[in-house]
């Protein structure tokens, strides 16, 4: 079971990111852009597209086990930015 742990974690994390990306894509880029703009994010239109691509595409790549090293770095960055933005909203 020890050898399966990285696979399970990679697939679970990829599924979570892919689902969040799918939710944003389903809501529409303009809605995600408006949300990012309300948070004070610069260039919200551009970053809405990049965010959706990172979450949906990165999640799928993690599930498939492709480019995991680079995808994990991008998704970690997305998660840290989200954490900082949410923390600043509640401060």
Q: Largest Cα–Cα distance in the chain? A: 45
CB 72 within 8 A of CB 62: yes
Q: Where are the domains of the chain?
A: 2-89
Record the tokens describing residue 77, joined without a space. 């960055």
Q: What is the pTM of this model?
A: 0.90
What pLDDT is stored for residue 91 in this prediction?
64
Rounded to 5°, the CA angle 11-72-36 comes to: 100
Residues 44-65: tens digit of each pLDDT: 999 999 999 999 999 999 999 9
DSSP code string of 45-79:
HHHHHHHHIIIIIHHHHHHHTSSHHHHHHHHHHHH
């Amino acid at each position: 079971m020890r050898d399966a742990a990285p696979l399970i974690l990679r697939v679970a994390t990829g599924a979570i990111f892919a689902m969040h990306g799918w939710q944003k894509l389903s809501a529409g880029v303009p809605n995600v852009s408006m949300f990012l703009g309300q948070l004070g994010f610069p260039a919200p239109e551009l970053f809405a597209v990049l965010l959706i691509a990172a979450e949906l595409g990165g999640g799928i790549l993690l599930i498939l086990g492709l480019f995991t090293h680079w995808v994990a770095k991008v998704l970690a960055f997305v998660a840290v930015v989200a954490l900082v933005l949410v923390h600043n909203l509640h401060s």
